[in-house]
Chain A
Amino acid sequence: MTERQASRRDFLAFLTALGAQASVTACRQTEESVVPQVRNSQPLTGSESLHFATALPFLDTALGVIVESRDARPVKVEGNPKHPESLGRTNSFAQATLYNLYDPDRSCGPKQQGTSRTWGEAQQMLSNWAKALDQSNGAKTAILTDCQRSPTMLAALAALRKQYPLLRVTTHEPLEQLNAREGASIAFGEAYEFLPNWGSAETVLILDGDPFGLEGGAVRAAHDWAVRPDAGDRRTNRLIVVESCLSLTGSIADHRFPCESRNILHLVSALALALVKQQAITASESLLGAFTKLVTVWGDAKWTKRIDVLAKELAEKRERSLIFVGMRQPPLVHALAYWLNSQLGNLEHSGAFWKSQPSETGGALALGQLATLLRDGQVEELLIIGTNPVFSAPGDVNFAGALKHAKRSVHLGEYYDETAQRCAWHLNLAHVLESFSDVTARDGTSSIIQPLIAPLWGSKTAAEVLMHLVGQNRSASDLVRDTWRTLLGADGFDVKFRQGLLNGTIGDAVGAVTVPAPDETRILAHFAHVDPIVPDALEVVFVPGHSTLDGRYANNGWLQELPCPITKVTWGNPAWVSADLARRLNLIDGRVVTIHANGRTQSFPVAVVPGQAANSITLTLGHGHEAFGKIANGIGNNAYVLCTEAHRFMASVDRLEVTATLAPLARTQTHFDDEGRRLARESTSGSPAAAATTGPGNDPQRALGPRSYEGRAWGMAIDLNRCTGCSTCVVACQVENNIPVVGKEGILRGRGMHWLRVDRYFSEHAEGVTTMAQPIPCQQCENAPCETVCPVGATAHSPEGLNDMVYNRCVGSRYCANNCPFKVRKFNYFEYGNPTDDLVKLRMNPDVTVRSRGVMEKCTFCVQRINDAKISAKLHGDSTIRDESFTTACAQACPTDAIVFGDLSDPSSRVSALRKSARSYELLAELGLMPRVTYLSKIRNPNSEM
């Protein structure tokens, strides 16, 4: 039997099961309080929305979220304002997680050698294994998990180790912050995790890192950086980024300099020397010698002045500055940064340290070592939990080959993926929204993960499976309660636990620790291992996939179709090359190159990306699955092949071969020059008015007087100063509004259907590249050009000033889209929107129409939310709708509050205030369209000396 498809019958069965669980309170009383609601005390009625707090583990942290449930199924994920890592915001992965939950490709049951088995049989297998372990004490057994931040899971692992002392437990997490941790070990002698306080740092130097983009705590970081109480029309903080490839962080920097990743060490050394020269810091003679040696070798003249100015600024902003190093830099650079920060007095003021997670999970055994042990027969039994090492193992680890030697191999995962197919057994792991679990965020805040729906395929959580191995058959809910009963104490546990479920955070957060002063000698010792520099050699840098992360989201259509915030490429991972390299090798976008590195080869189409360091090639991880799901398979190429276990994020290129093949890139935007039209505007700090009023388009022709609106007038203000271009809003909009995915072919044909897109503009100059991101929803013009031209009047103005689209009336002439200057109207060229799969239908927002083919659709300012708010206001006898009561999906998801939505007729609303800002301007104002969306120009705060 092949993969089972969920039918409506199955769904009803789930519903019934859920209902039964809720109603049989006599025997399973605990199940009732499993899902306390944050809002709304009504029991399951009709299609009213209920909200539940839970948390989503994400890289080295967790995002607290509130999930909206309709008809007992989760339909929307939003941030939990009470959770410090989310502050009510989300990232695109959290928004898109529903896609995975309702993914028909997800593993739908245990399998033995490809044959479907029941969980009963699987449990039998686990008990047999447990018996065998009893005898061997786990001597030849290993457990390979993904990064575990769940107290319950850690407790389960501890229990397992206690029962089988010889058991080996190790972690494979491709994007783990190993280098930072090791850097801390070098500096401080012990592994610590450093959490910068982005809200207080004034001058930040970021070296090859993306703290506001694709590193763990980006939601919180970007929010703290962008949302400052003193903001106004001036900027008080300054961001200086040096990196090899343009990141989101680099794209919002005040100064951004391209520099090959392998030269960052040299650059830090030069900076340290400059700081010493300016007597801002002190260093031992031997360390100075090491620095000098490196700088002499590097000797890049163009950096001399820059580094002096940089050092001066960092010295001036002592205790208020910060040097931050990205995850792909080697431990030594991290250690040096800790040392410099410490010398500048930044560690105390601009961040805090947490002790690293207990070492039960991390770093005990490298993947390569495990592979060797498997091959040597020292490990014969292997349980793999939630990770896909066959796909994501570094190129020098032949994990697939090693796995063949295992006598017993069990894979526990959400997908029947590359690893699952090579294991004897595969067990289906519960999706996070089906699981009862818990998670601790980076800053020590813990949350309970509670299920929003009974497991669609009867899947189990990792803790449940582990407990089978110690001979306990306990539900995940009991396990979590046990853990927390221990942590919180039995006294008043139920109340505390329930409160924790309601809040989304539980218990006291683990506190920060103080660290010892960095040790110069240990740092110095590591200078011995620095690789010699090869001038003009090409390097490859590996970055997380904006759509795949490390590969686990590869079967997520929403994310695959989410344009890369920088290159606007969807459905694939081209190699980013610099214009310089492209010129030298005569490369154009889409030209396939074969990269030889570390003795292996892989081919990628190239994308010429502005701001790329000349000799650096960037590869995105997580693409190129062979056996994962229908969406993921065959999209992009696997970049893990080229990296090594020792250097997971950098490699030097042995040879670059240009092929004759052209593989077109599926891009949603192909032209990145704003042609001097000043659509996304910016100014330097202190002259905001100039930004909004200079250049074309500031003489709005009000040929038609403003329309009078009675009652509410909805409007939106988008602050470009806060927007990082992360595109979370795009996914949020897609989820909220049932926006179809058109696939690679569709994007290649220019038929992407995002109602909200983020435009990216680059302007290249001698100092590098200035980039602008501009979210473009429907501008809701009051003089809407789309309305007049529709032959059947399918789009018209609402009394509250919205440009409404009547899908049922639309015949699809596309005239409105042609006449839309912003091109925000999207036509459904094929039957993209209407899923045939019953399971996929579950993820649809029941408040929003699913549009058929041949119909124009567009941003509605989330009119369903507006109506909901109006109804609820009416029910409560309150005619005013305040900012707090609701907002659009994009505004709600935005990590930096760049999108503000509200009632323009209410003078106290935030949007009214922002519209009056000196930075406020209309897009294409000269057309006299009177858009309801206004933009606030970006402010850059450059150092004029630099």
Chain B
Amino acid sequence: MTQAQAFDDEFAAAKSPPLNLEQLSERVSLLVERKARPGFWLMVAIGATVVGLLVASLGLVTGKGIGVWGNDQTVGWACDITGFVFWIGIGHAGTLISAILFLFRQRWRTTINRAAEAMTLFAVMAAAIYPVFHLGRVWLGYWLLPAPNQMLVWPNFKSPLTWDVFAISTYFLVSVIFWYLGLIPDLAQLRDRAQLGTRKRVLSRLSLGWNGSQRHWQYYERAYLTLAGLATPLVVSVHTIVSFDFAVAVLPGWHSTLFPPYFVAGAILSGSAWVGALLVLVRDYCGLKDAITVGHIEKLNQLVLATGTLVGGSYLIEFYLGFAGEDAFERAVLFDRLLGGKALAFAVMVGCNVLLPQLYWFSKLRRSLVVTVVIGIGVNIGMWFERYVIVTGSLERSFLPSTLSRFAPTAVDIAMLVGTIGLFFTLFLLFLRYAPVLSLHELRSDRHLARTEIHPSQGVAAAPFANVEKEGDTSDTDPTLIFKGWPVESRKRSVSTSQQPASDPTVQVVEVRSSHEVRSSHGTSDGSLRRAPKLSVLRGAPESSESANAVVGLCRDLPALLAACEQLQAMSPLQFDVYAPYPIHETHRYVGQDSSRIALSALLGGCLGAGLAIGLQYYAQVIGYPMALGNHAAWAWQFAVPVTFEVAVLFAALGCFLSFLHSCGLPAPRDSALDACLTERSGEGLLVVRIECGLSDVRKVVSLLEHGNASGLAEAIK
């Protein structure tokens, strides 16, 4: 009680003064590290209850049959596929924000991309439930996967449903990889903060032994950029392929080339509206007003306005094509939407998707948090109805009037929808509790980049590190910089209060040496730190430096670090690296430039994937199990495009990620010696330089660092 009280008090206190970067970082870390706030588990319990509803519904669907839904012989798909498309649509915003905006260097995304990506994953999970459980025989659902089997039959690669399988799994896997890649440095940071124990062990495993080496950061950045490039076409392709489920069919109202762009626009609309509403809640719940600002929300709302209008245009085109054309069936479906049995659902869909976002023409509404939540929810209600109208509307009114039907959902249909919403929120709550809700390293990196005017290659001679006030002023005057660095308001506030005590010496030298026992057991005298699992740590001046094989220096600021690097480079052939919780591009020329093969691996992976996919499809359709389907030729390259594309992207992403791990030598055991330093110092924002050297060099290095033989270093000490 008291602890919780104290925590809440701290939160309350934190509301008033704006937080600076370190405080914010602390806050985010504390969210994960402290005990959950009292209301949290109650909310999780409510969420779990709703998930129970979902589980019960799925039990009914599996145990009794699809008949527990309202579907009938005419309307084979209804709330099931509506729910699927709805959730997949929501799942678009995350990757859009993290990948596309990254590529466009929209740096304002940094505070929201983690949450948005998590949202994507959970939405895709919720979505995936539907196509699996909508199968009449769920237990045979694996037949949709291209697994070799004793029956020697393969999925039908000409079916849009098979394309869906590939599109959704690729999207999910690539999103997971992308999300996880971004999470690794943050998990490592949490690991470093953690006390010994289970938490530490788990975080060590999850962070794969990431230690913030600047060499690794180079690989990281390359991998992240490559993955962003790979994820970008996925954002477009997933809903395009989902729209093929409809566009490929012959039904009036489905059979339309308009569908792919129309679906993608709709997906982005629902996704960004959902992110906007969710972030308003997150910033309030987590006390992150300084990170997730009104500026962010406004940006998202601009996206909602743009895509909402696009979607409206699509509706217009749909009606134009229908009524300008000769197709009586198409017209009947559209008429049914406009004035017939689907009119109410259609009105909801147009009202919520097209008209509601138009309010965002007013900046006051755009910047209003309440309006954001209301419109965010409204747009998503509208988008659900849009899919409902598309899915059921065309099925209900297809070709033969004798088969006309009217779908009515059952309680189980509704329970499934509510249940998936519950699942989504439960997962999201757990995410808030167990993962850093903001990307800590990206925040720092952005701050750093902003200070050095985002020119990594310019190196040492960049702007002074500590002059926060000046930095704040320049960015205020330059609107282009606002979102590249730090949102205006919070930066302004951080200016006034960032009076960081600087009592420590600029460079603190720590000598690390192997313990006698360990050394002897390994039988090596110069094994790298990474290989030695246990090392004792000595602080202050070395007394028996013969046994040391690495030296760690802590630098208070960037110039000191760079000066030290300069000195150390002069001592060549010393091997050294700089460790920081964010990438420092200025150090690249000291620690060595990236020469990784990450991009090449992605390319090779992509080629391999495409080759495999084409080979598999050709084998399955022409050699292994040729079938006469719909009078189509056994092999048609047009049909092979979606699967080939998806597999290629998946393999490229895997190649990229594996190559990243390989380049960094991850996963690796936790580097305890370094870890100890980082645990101590990371909260203080110190930069770590580690020099790996032979025993004979240790004393030299230590004295160099401590006594400032080199001029740069001496300057720094002063």
Contacts and interface: CB of A to CB of B under 8 A. Distances in A.
Given A751-B67, A811-B144, A830-B67, A788 B136 contact: no
Contacts of A671: 401-402, 404
A750 B156 contact: no
Interface residues of A, number: 69
Interface string A744-774: 0010011111000101110000000000001
B249 A789 contact: yes
A322 B144 CA distance: 64
A783 B630 contact: yes
Interface string A808-832: 0111111101110111011111110
B395 interface: yes
Contacts of A306: none
A829 B631 contact: no
A508 to B, nearest CB: 48
Given A749-B67, A751-B72, A812-B66, A819 B135 contact: no
Contact of B72 (A696, A749, A799): A749
A674 B135 contact: no
Main secondary structure of the interface of B (DSSP, over half): loop
B325 to A, nearest CB: 12
A669 interface: yes
A679 interface: yes
B150 to A, nearest CB: 13
A791 B162 contact: yes
A666 interface: no
B404 A853 contact: no
- In which size bucket is the chain B interface? 35 or more
B84 to A, nearest CB: 12
A6 B165 CA distance: 47
B77 A855 contact: no
Given A788-B159, A823-B403, A796 B629 contact: yes
A701 B153 CA distance: 33
Contacts of B70: 749
Main secondary structure of the interface of A (DSSP, over half): loop
A219 interface: no
B71 A812 contact: no
A761 B401 contact: yes
Contacts of B65: 828-831, 853-854
Among B135, B245, B401, the most chain A Cβ lie within 10 Å of the Cβ of: B401
A817 B76 contact: yes
Contact of B628 (A672, A751, A797, A827): A797
Given A670-B404, A707-B631, A759-B402, A830 B64 contact: yes
A823 B400 contact: yes
Contacts of A797: 627-631
Contacts of A672: 401-402
A396 B74 CA distance: 46
B401 A822 contact: no
A810 B136 contact: yes
Given A789-B160, A792-B143, A793-B156, A827 B73 contact: yes
Interface string B328-342: 110010000000000
A822 B143 contact: no
B143 to A, nearest CB: 5
Contacts of B165: 791
Given A759-B402, A789-B161, A854-B135, A817 B249 contact: no
A696 B404 CA distance: 19
Nearest to B405: A750
B156 A752 contact: no
Interface string A668-711: 01111111110100000000000000001000000010010000
A856 interface: yes
A157 B582 CA distance: 108
B627 A793 contact: yes
A793 B135 contact: no
Given A670-B405, A750-B75, A855-B137, A791 B399 contact: no
Interface string A912-935: 000000000000100100100000
A750 B402 CA distance: 12
A784 interface: yes
Given A761-B402, A793-B154, A812 B136 contact: yes
Contacts of B399: 677, 821-822, 924, 927
A785 interface: yes
Interface string B60-103: 00001111001111111100000000000000000000000000
Contacts, number: 201
A674 to B, nearest CB: 6
Contact of B71 (A674, A814, A823): A814
B76 A790 contact: no
A811 B141 contact: yes
Contacts of A785: 249-250, 630
A759 B404 CA distance: 11
A352 interface: no
Contact of A815 (B67, B161, B398, B405): B161
Nearest to B142: A811
B629 A787 contact: yes
A818 B73 contact: no
B343 to A, nearest CB: 17
A776 B400 contact: yes
B588 interface: no
B591 interface: no
A782 interface: yes
Given A704-B631, A810-B136, A855-B137, A826 B73 contact: yes
Contacts of B73: 750-753, 817, 823, 825-827
B30 interface: no
B345 interface: no
Interface in B136-187: 136-138, 140-141, 143-144, 153-156, 158-162, 165
Contacts of B155: 791-793
A699 to B, nearest CB: 11
B156 A855 contact: no
B251 interface: yes
A226 B292 CA distance: 80
B248 interface: yes
Contact of A829 (B66, B159, B161, B627): B66
A818 B76 contact: yes
A798 B629 CA distance: 9
A817 B71 CA distance: 12
Contacts of B72: 749-751, 829
Nearest to B639: A788
Contacts of A798: 628
Contacts of B76: 814-815, 817-818, 827
Nearest to B151: A809
Nearest to B64: A830
B513 interface: no
A854 B136 contact: yes
B632 interface: yes
B134 interface: yes
B143 A809 contact: yes
A797 B141 CA distance: 23
A915 B70 CA distance: 40
A825 B66 CA distance: 16
Given A671-B402, A674-B401, 13 more contacts: A677-B400, A788-B156, A792-B155, A793-B629, A797-B628, A809-B143, A811-B137, A812-B135, A815-B76, A821-B251, A821-B398, A821-B400, A830-B65
21 contacts: A671-B404, A674-B401, A675-B332, A677-B399, A679-B400, A785-B249, A788-B158, A788-B248, A791-B159, A791-B162, A791-B165, A792-B153, A799-B628, A810-B136, A811-B136, A812-B135, A813-B134, A818-B251, A822-B399, A827-B76, A924-B399
Interface of A: 669-677, 679, 696, 704, 707, 746, 749-753, 757, 759-761, 774, 776, 782-793, 796-799, 809-815, 817-819, 821-823, 825-831, 852-856, 924, 927, 930
Interface of B: 64-67, 70-77, 134-138, 140-141, 143-144, 153-156, 158-162, 165, 245, 248-251, 328-329, 332, 395, 398-405, 625, 627-632
